């Protein structure tokens, strides 16, 4: 049992060594390594040479394994206070997962294959990935994805022991939170990158690849809420274990969807199935194995604590129902076209209109619960008490929504009106929550006495409100126009006058391009100068649209060059994006809230090692 810890350290050192070697090969332009030759070029800036390490399939799998080794090491390092059987089992399960992925790399995806004779230069990194946000997006996402492997391993270890005490729950909670916060940051960066790099100003496409990261996020969100109930009230324990299994399984499913090539076309997957079949096999073993263990052991997990119909427990259960149904709708929407195609039933597209119809309503109901839950007591509450607590928040929210609808009558949809109400509702209930806590602690002096986890919860919920405002505003009031502009021409969008001055040629380190010069004015006053570009990357023979954005707290102005037309004119894409920063701002608030939650003192208090604390040992 004591071998687990040094083994974790050894694994980390050797995987780090492999990653270091690959990074060195990139920096040293060693094009005799096939993977380097396919993903870099001697003219590529050094920063992107490093990012190119995970710019392709093989390298990103190595990064995945490196992150897993890092988590395993962290688990080994921080778990000294855990019962040694639980600790050894957890590290053992993590080790098994590592074996699976290391085998995957060795058998199907080695980044160290030689390419001899070595080409004179490499094929360059995909220009779309030559971007700072895209450089750190995969590591963040993987820290999140793989972090759920730790919670999964803890859950499986607890099932093997047949016992989950409150120490287990308290111990697992910060790990789930950290994984969740990194996944949040990873998704945020991906969305931000798509907005300014894809050239079309969209922030979420319901693309299967995005969904692959979003499903574990939804399940992970359900998990961190259920862990709260399990820690505070001793309920939901079996469900927590099941959620931990599902969250990690969804991470693996995401890996399968993205890595197998099944998304490009079911047929391309069928023609070169080695990678896909391996991950699918691994996924099946993990899911079937852990669910079997669950079915066998879960009945032994005893829940304590009763609760009434109107209680925070019930509302958190409803939260979990909504999140998991939402997650299922994303899963079905993602897999359905693949399944239909595989079964020869024809091709269909499942896109934003589907998710807007199915997913968004569930989230709006959930937003209502976000306000209600924290104001409801654990165990039981009378409807009268609850009505008393929420009456001001409800009144203020309804009034504010009415005013907002009146002011923004033009173009406001029913969905946006509901979104406005939900945002107001969350904000006002957070205010009520903090206020009532302060009253208990003697006014404003009590601010410091409130525990960080309470602030964390409220901050995350406010983040949700901010997100709803941003997403609603940009989808409802955003304007996009494609216009023809010659030098000196101008077009007006949302009161902003865009004037096309001229174009000039630009030369980058590994590209050539055309840069447009636009001035933006509002009511005669200057607002911004915008310089969108059209770039050509000769090595990849690809052209890229680099939009120019004047960012603001309340609106972004977005200009992208389309195509050159006759007489020096260009087709130009102009966009007005109200409140779009709030989307990422809200997500950032959620991630910060995660950080605040794990900073809570109670997770740093060492659990005393005493024989009474871990009766599961030696059974």
Partner 1 sequence: MLMKGQIYRKQAILSAFVALIVVAAPVAGLEPLGFDDPARQARYEALLHQLRCVVCQNQSLASSDAGLAGDLRQRVHQMVAEDQTNDAIKTHLIERYGDFVLYRPPVTARTYVLWFSAPVLLLAGIIVLAVTVHRRHHLPPRRLDANERTQLRRVLSDHRNDVS
CA gap 582, 609 in Å, rounded: 46
* Structure tokens that stand for 169 in this block: 């729950």
From residue 250, how far is each of 243, 257, 274, 287, 614 by CA, in Å?
10, 10, 21, 10, 31
Of 138 and 463, the one with the shorter C-beta distance to partner 1 is 138
- Does residue 289 belong to the site contacting partner 1 (CB under 8 A)? no
The answer to whether 295 and 271 have CB atoms below 8 angstroms apart is no
* Structure tokens that stand for 561 in this block: 């060059």
- Does residue 14 belong to the site contacting partner 1 (CB under 8 A)? no
The answer to whether 481 and 415 have CB atoms below 8 angstroms apart is no
CA gap 222, 592 in Å, rounded: 18
Of 354 and 517, the one with the shorter C-beta distance to partner 1 is 354
Q: How many residues bind partner 1 (CB under 8 A)?
A: 88
Of 259 and 461, the one with the shorter C-beta distance to partner 1 is 259
Helix (H) or strand (E) holding 155: helix 132-161
Interface with partner 1 (CB under 8 A), residue from 309, 440, 444, 448:
309
Of 346 and 524, the one with the shorter C-beta distance to partner 1 is 346
**Stretches 107-115, 186-194, 281-289, 451-459: which one binds partner 1 (CB under 8 A)?**
186-194
CB of 402 to partner 1, least distance (A): 25
CB of 196 to partner 1, least distance (A): 12
CB of 610 to partner 1, least distance (A): 8
Interface with partner 1 (CB under 8 A), residue from 25, 26, 29, 39:
39
Of 309 and 444, the one with the shorter C-beta distance to partner 1 is 309
For the segment 537-576, give every residue that binds partner 1 (CB under 8 A): 540-544, 562-563, 565, 571-573
For the segment 242-261, give every residue that binds partner 1 (CB under 8 A): 258-259, 261
Of 121 and 210, the one with the shorter C-beta distance to partner 1 is 210
Helix (H) or strand (E) holding 554: none
Interface with partner 1 (CB under 8 A), residue from 9, 27, 209, 494:
209
**Stretches 13-21, 124-132, 149-157, 383-391: which one binds partner 1 (CB under 8 A)?**
124-132
CA gap 322, 329 in Å, rounded: 10
SS3 506: strand
The answer to whether 104 and 279 have CB atoms below 8 angstroms apart is yes
* Structure tokens that stand for 600 in this block: 């809570």
Helix (H) or strand (E) holding 464: helix 452-477
- Does residue 57 belong to the site contacting partner 1 (CB under 8 A)? yes
- Does residue 235 belong to the site contacting partner 1 (CB under 8 A)? yes
- Does residue 515 belong to the site contacting partner 1 (CB under 8 A)? no
**Stretches 108-116, 132-140, 397-405, 589-597: which one binds partner 1 (CB under 8 A)?**
132-140
- Does residue 1 belong to the site contacting partner 1 (CB under 8 A)? no
For the segment 137-176, give every residue that binds partner 1 (CB under 8 A): 137-138, 141
**Stretches 126-134, 435-443, 460-468, 546-554: which one binds partner 1 (CB under 8 A)?**
126-134
Helix (H) or strand (E) holding 490: strand 490-493
Of 435 and 563, the one with the shorter C-beta distance to partner 1 is 563
Of 360 and 468, the one with the shorter C-beta distance to partner 1 is 360
CA atoms within 13 A on the CB side of 604: 6
CA gap 368, 461 in Å, rounded: 11
- Does residue 488 belong to the site contacting partner 1 (CB under 8 A)? no
The answer to whether 585 and 455 have CB atoms below 8 angstroms apart is no
Q: Beta strand 525-530 with 542-546: parallel, antiparallel or unpaired? A: unpaired
Gyration radius of the chain's alpha carbons? 26
Interface with partner 1 (CB under 8 A), residue from 24, 80, 114, 302:
302
Q: Which residues contact 357 (CB under 8 A, 6 or more apart)?
A: none
- Does residue 415 belong to the site contacting partner 1 (CB under 8 A)? no
Of 84 and 314, the one with the shorter C-beta distance to partner 1 is 314
CA gap 373, 390 in Å, rounded: 11
For the segment 456-485, give every residue that binds partner 1 (CB under 8 A): 480-484
For the segment 359-378, give every residue that binds partner 1 (CB under 8 A): 362
Phi/psi for 541 (5° steps) reads 50, 45
Cis peptide before 301 (omega within 30 of 0): no
SS3 535: strand
Of 43 and 314, the one with the shorter C-beta distance to partner 1 is 314
From residue 244, how far is each of 66, 175, 248, 361, 501 by CA, in Å?
22, 11, 6, 25, 56
CB of 468 to partner 1, least distance (A): 20
The answer to whether 563 and 577 have CB atoms below 8 angstroms apart is no
As a whole number of Å, the end-to-end CA separation of the chain is: 15
- Does residue 448 belong to the site contacting partner 1 (CB under 8 A)? no
Interface with partner 1 (CB under 8 A), residue from 60, 90, 249, 453:
60
Interface with partner 1 (CB under 8 A), residue from 207, 293, 450, 585:
207
For the segment 321-350, give every residue that binds partner 1 (CB under 8 A): 321-322, 324-325, 328-329, 332-333, 336, 340, 345-350
**Stretches 80-88, 216-224, 357-365, 512-520: which one binds partner 1 (CB under 8 A)?**
357-365
CA gap 348, 368 in Å, rounded: 33
Of 81 and 542, the one with the shorter C-beta distance to partner 1 is 542
CB neighbour class for 278 (10 Å; exposed up to 12, middle 13-18, buried from 19)? buried
**Stretches 222-230, 288-296, 310-318, 452-460: which one binds partner 1 (CB under 8 A)?**
310-318
The answer to whether 497 and 519 have CB atoms below 8 angstroms apart is no
- Does residue 198 belong to the site contacting partner 1 (CB under 8 A)? yes
- Does residue 307 belong to the site contacting partner 1 (CB under 8 A)? yes
- Does residue 202 belong to the site contacting partner 1 (CB under 8 A)? yes
- Does residue 129 belong to the site contacting partner 1 (CB under 8 A)? yes
Phi/psi for 548 (5° steps) reads -110, 140
């Amino acid at each position: 049992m004591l071998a687990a810890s040094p083994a974790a350290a050894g694994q980390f050192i050797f995987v780090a060594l492999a990653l270091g070697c690959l990074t060195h090969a990139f920096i040293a332009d060693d094009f005799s390594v096939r993977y380097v030759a396919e993903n870099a070029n001697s003219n590529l800036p050094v920063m992107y040479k490093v990012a190119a390490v995970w710019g392709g399939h093989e390298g990103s799998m190595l990064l995945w394994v490196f992150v897993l080794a890092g988590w395993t090491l962290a688990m080994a390092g921080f778990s000294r206070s855990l019962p040694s059987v639980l600790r050894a089992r957890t590290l053992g399960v993590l080790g098994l997962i590592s074996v699976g992925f290391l085998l995957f790399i060795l058998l199907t995806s080695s980044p160290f294959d030689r390419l001899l004779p070595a080409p004179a230069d490499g094929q360059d990194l995909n220009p779309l990935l030559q971007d700072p946000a895209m450089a750190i997006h995969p590591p963040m996402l993987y820290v999140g994805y793989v972090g759920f492997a730790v919670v999964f391993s803890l859950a499986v270890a607890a099932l093997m022991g047949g016992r989950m005490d409150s120490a287990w729950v308290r111990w697992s909670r910060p790990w789930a939170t950290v994984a969740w916060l990194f996944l949040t940051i990873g998704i945020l960066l991906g969305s931000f990158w798509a907005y300014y790099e894809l050239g079309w100003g969209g922030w979420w496409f319901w693309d299967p690849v995005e969904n692959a990261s979003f499903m574990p996020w939804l399940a992970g969100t359900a998990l961190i809420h259920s862990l709260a109930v399990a820690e505070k009230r001793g309920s939901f324990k079996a469900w927590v274990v099941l959620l931990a299994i599902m969250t990690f399984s969804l991470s693996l499913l995401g890996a399968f969807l993205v890595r197998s090539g099944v998304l490009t076309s079911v047929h391309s997957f069928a023609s070169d199935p080695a990678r896909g079949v391996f991950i699918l096999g691994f996924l099946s073993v993990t899911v079937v194995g852990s669910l079997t263990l669950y079915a066998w052991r879960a009945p032994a997990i005893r829940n304590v604590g009763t609760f009434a119909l109107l209680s925070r427990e019930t509302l958190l259960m409803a939260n979990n129902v909504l999140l998991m149904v939402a997650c299922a709708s994303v899963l079905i929407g993602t897999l359905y076209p693949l399944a239909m195609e595989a079964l020869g039933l024809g091709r269909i597209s499942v896109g934003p209109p589907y998710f807007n119809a199915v997913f968004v309503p569930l989230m709006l109901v959930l937003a209502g619960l976000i306000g209600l839950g924290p104001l409801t007591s654990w165990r039981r509450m009378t409807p009268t008490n609850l009505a008393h607590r929420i009456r001001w928040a409800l009144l203020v929210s309804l009034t504010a929504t009415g005013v907002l609808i009146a002011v923004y009558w033009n173009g406001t949809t029913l969905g946006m009106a509901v979104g406005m109400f939900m945002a107001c509702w969350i904000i006002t209930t957070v205010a009520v929550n903090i206020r009532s806590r302060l009253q208990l602690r003697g006014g404003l002096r009590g601010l410091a006495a409130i525990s960080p986890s309470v602030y964390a919860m409220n901050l995350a919920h406010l983040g949700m409100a901010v997100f709803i405002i941003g997403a609603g505003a940009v989808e409802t009031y955003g304007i996009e126009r494609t216009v023809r502009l010659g030098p000196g021409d101008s077009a007006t969008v949302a009161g902003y006058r865009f004037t096309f001055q001229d174009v000039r040629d630009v030369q980058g380190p590994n590209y050539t391009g055309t840069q447009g010069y636009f001035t933006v004015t509002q009511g005669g006053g200057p607002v911004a100068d915008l310089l969108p570009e059209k770039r050509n990357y000769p090595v990849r023979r690809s052209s890229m649209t680099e939009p120019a954005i004047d960012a603001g707290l309340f609106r972004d102005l977005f200009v992208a060059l389309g195509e050159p037309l006759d007489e020096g004119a260009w087709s130009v894409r102009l966009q007005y994006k109200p409140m779009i920063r709030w989307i990422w701002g809200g997500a950032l608030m959620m991630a910060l809230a995660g950080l605040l939650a794990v900073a809570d003192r109670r997770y740093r208090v060492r659990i005393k090692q005493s024989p009474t604390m871990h009766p599961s040992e030696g059974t």
